[in-house]
Amino acid sequence: MSDATSSQPPAVAHPRLAELALALGGFGIGTGEFVIMGLMNRVAGDLQVAVPDVGYAISSYALGVVVGAPLISSLAARVPKRALLIVLMLVFAIGNLASAFAPDFWSFVLLRFLAGLPHGAYFGVAALVAAAAVPIDERARAVSRVMLGLTTAILAGAPLATWAGNLLGWQAAFVGVGAIALATALMVRLWVPAQPSNPNASPLRELTALVKQRVLFTLGIACIGFGGMFAVFSYVMPTLTEQAGMADALGPLVLAVFGVGTIVGNLVGARAADRNIMRAIPTILIWCCVVQGLFYFAANDVFLGLLFVGLVGTSMALGPTIQTRLMDVAEDAQTMAASLNHAAFNVANALGAWLAGVTIKLGFAWSSTGLVGAALALGGLAIFYTGLWAERRSASLAPG
């Protein structure tokens, strides 16, 4: 059994302060990831490129997340977790501060890749540290409190940074994110307890996560089932303005409602996971299918559309649930599996947005993104039950 589930929690003088430090890092990462979407025009103008080209910077960051999660998790297998968290935050700070002073567009794109490298590993290690400090039946709630930083960034961090970037220049937003990362590194050093490195850890052992059947099925649920939320969210503004006739001035309200939904989903999903994780995962996927499918109809009305934007945001319930499930099945590759969770979420983001865009380009209504989301949730449900069948089949064939 892994250290994450079997060892005694380390002594933590101020456990809530430790969780606050870890959550602040998530807040900085979430703000840095999403703020560029509100500053695309300013970045394009200053760096003298077309607005769509700024999408390369967004994709570069996502690529950094996908590359960094397995690379850092394997190479840093023996690094004590607190030290690793501090280093990851310092790298993230450097990437964002350097992004603010990028001399041209392509160096900006490269620096966004650098900033994305620590993303998955930070969330994965932070989740393990938080879970190790509480009883086993409270792990998901501890993980959700760390992830509150990310959901709060969606609600407040990215909008505030966008406002500051439009007022003071887009560079100010990335300087602010870098400052948050530096503050996180200091708070982690002060409040997160030191944990000894695992002498048995090795890059090869961490890489075994990539061949564990239950880990791969769980990551598959994240890649597919979580994609529906991003399918809707990526096009939620034009959907409500073009189809429901919503005023552009209500755009911040849309983001706020979605942010509240992600916070509620994160907390409720964690509580459900602590009670019965194998019941929570399919229940959440069915809920995602229903609310995302109904968004197709609700988006014809401004009030109903806003209501269902919040309900779609509750799909974030999958976050702590999938993270906790990975802790259960990763065995000796805890760090790798936990980090890959956030790489999988970035795959879900790309997949959901791409499929929704293809559907709209084919001439379907803007709100057809909800149908794409429902289909992806059903795909995640199919992966869950296929994995459950494969797990039971393996157990029945095992000797003894």
* Every domain of the chain and the residues it spans: 10-201, 205-400
The tokens for 206 are: 């961490």
The alpha carbon dihedral of 175, 177, 178, 184 has a sign of positive
Predicted pLDDT at 2: 39
CATH topology agreement for domains 10-201 and 205-400: yes
The CATH architecture one would assign to domain 205-400 is Up-down Bundle (1.20)
Predicted pLDDT at 299: 95
Burial of 7 (0-12, 13-18, 19+ CB in 10 A): exposed
Judge whether 4 and 328 are in contact, CB under 8 Å.
Answer: no
* Distance in Å from the first CA to the final CA of the chain: 19
The CATH architecture one would assign to domain 10-201 is Up-down Bundle (1.20)
Predicted pLDDT at 212: 86
Judge whether 368 and 360 are in contact, CB under 8 Å.
Answer: yes
Q: What per-residue string of b and e applies to 260-296 under the rule 16 or more CB within 10 Å gives b?
A: bbbbbbbbbbbebbbeebeebbbebbebbbebbbbbb
Judge whether 381 and 289 are in contact, CB under 8 Å.
Answer: yes
Q: For 46-106, give the DSSP string.
A: HHT--GGGGHHHHHHHHHHHHHHHHHHHHHTTTS-HHHHHHHHHHHHHHHHHHHHT-SSHH
Q: Look-up: residue for tokens 């994450």?
A: 4
Residues in CB range of 84: below 8 A, 6 or more apart: 76, 121, 125
Q: How many CB atoms lie within 10 A of CB 49?
A: 18
Estimate the crossing angle of helix 227-234 against helix 213-225, to 10 degrees. Answer: 20
Alpha-carbon separation of residue 207 from 63, 204, 333, 358 (angstroms): 19, 5, 7, 35
CA-nearest of 258, 241, 253 to 366 is 241
Judge whether 188 and 81 are in contact, CB under 8 Å.
Answer: no
CA distance 104 to 48: 8
Alpha-carbon separation of residue 214 from 21, 55, 179, 251, 398 (angstroms): 31, 34, 39, 41, 15
CA 79 to the chain's CA centroid: 23
Predicted pLDDT at 12: 52
The tokens for 149 are: 């930083």
Judge whether 115 and 61 are in contact, CB under 8 Å.
Answer: yes
Q: Look-up: residue for tokens 């994110």?
A: 177
The tokens for 308 are: 């269902």
CA distance 54 to 36: 9
pLDDT in tens, the chain (400 residues): 334 444 444 445 577 899 999 999 999 999 998 888 778 788 889 999 887 788 788 888 988 998 998 889 888 888 899 999 999 999 999 999 999 999 999 999 999 999 999 999 999 899 989 988 888 889 899 999 999 999 999 889 988 998 899 889 999 999 999 999 999 999 999 999 887 777 666 677 777 777 889 999 999 999 999 999 989 988 888 899 889 999 888 877 888 899 999 999 999 999 999 999 999 999 999 999 999 999 999 999 999 999 999 999 999 999 999 999 998 888 877 888 888 888 898 889 888 888 998 898 899 999 999 999 999 999 999 999 999 999 888 877 767 5
